[in-house]
Amino acid sequence: MTPDLAGRGVVVTGAGRGIGEAYAKAFAAAGARVVVNDLDADAVTAVATSLGDDVFAVPGDASSEEGVAALVASARDHLGEIDVYCANAGVARGGTEAVAERAWDVSWNVNVMAHVRAAKLLVPEWVERGSGTFVATVSAAGLLSIPGAAPYAVTKHAAYAFAEWLSMTYGDKGVRVHAVCPQGVRTDMLRNSGTSGRALMEADAVDPDDVARDLFLAMEQERFLVLPHPEVAQMYAHRASDPDRWLTGMRRLAGGLPGSVLGAD
């Protein structure tokens, strides 16, 4: 556990279920005051109620410019200062380059621009006071790609790139950044991924609480990259050191799958 979380102000987006709910539970248990957000108002209200008086539900869209502004304003009302912001909400859209424009739009907005828009509002204050933590829930797909899901693969790479960029730009000014990159995690996202998505991710899947535990360990050790599946580090190194061989393997994997894994629109 990270001892300095007592009384800290934390925001978790996409906290109505899954990994976001597990983060909220872990932060509340560590004594933080937590704003939980989700598009699903009923789910996030139930999470807040179950976690006690220091957890506040702020339902709404955590991706649009107006939605992020409303969330950050409301979180400041509840918490005073925001010390930790977990940009966790994500959407899993499968398909090829030919998937509908709306699948690309929602993927860019939720998986990438939500992070950019939150950072735009938070970083100036964090730099001024010399502290603040940005947690980006990315995916191993942001380091290794994923066949059958072009919008997910591409936007998760962008989310990882943005987290890295934040860290290289503001890391020496007191802003800590963590990029959380799991493979399969047993949540509704995985359960709703269709037969091929589940086949790809279910075997070595971990629980959402494992991801929260690994995030806390990385916060304690001030490590940027959080890998709930440690083997991802070797695969990432292999991709960089021998891209053609890596692509041959990925083609083999893709060849055994239909055109789309995950959901399509």
Which residues would be at the binding site for ligand NAD (CB under 6 A)? 13-14, 16-20, 37-40, 43, 61-63, 88-92, 110, 137, 139, 182, 184-185, 187-190, 201
Least distance (Å) between residue 244 CB and ligand NAD:
26
Closest contact distance (angstroms) between CB of 196 and ligand NAD is 14
d(CA 247, CA 110): 28
Phi, psi at residue 144, to the nearest 5°? -120, -5
Q: Where are the beta strands (DSSP E) in 138-213?
A: 175-180
Give dist(CA 24, CA 12) in Å, integer: 7
Nearer to ligand NAD among residue 40 and residue 209 (C-beta)? 40
Min separation Cβ 172 and ligand NAD, Å: 27
Sorted by sequence, the CB contacts under 8 Å of residue 3 that are 6+ apart come out as none
Residue 248 CB, shortest distance to ligand NAD, in Å, is 24
Q: How many CB atoms lie within 10 A of CB 55?
A: 24
Q: Which is nearer to ligand NAD, 174 or 209 (CB)?
A: 209
Active site residue 152: yes
Question: Based on CB atoms, which residue is closest to ligand NAD, 37 or 133?
Answer: 37
Residue among 23, 152, 160, 170 flagged as catalytic: 152
- Computed from CA positions of residues 61, 92, 176, 161, in that sequence, does the dihedral angle turn out positive or negative? negative
Tell me whether residue 130 or residue 206 sits nearer to ligand NAD (CB atom). Answer: 206
> For residue 133, what are the contacts with CB-CB under 8 A and spacing of at least 6?
83, 84, 85, 175, 176, 177, 178, 219
User: What is d(CA 66, CA 62) in angstroms, rounded to the nearest whole number?
Assistant: 9
Q: Could you give the residue numbers annotated as active site?
A: 152
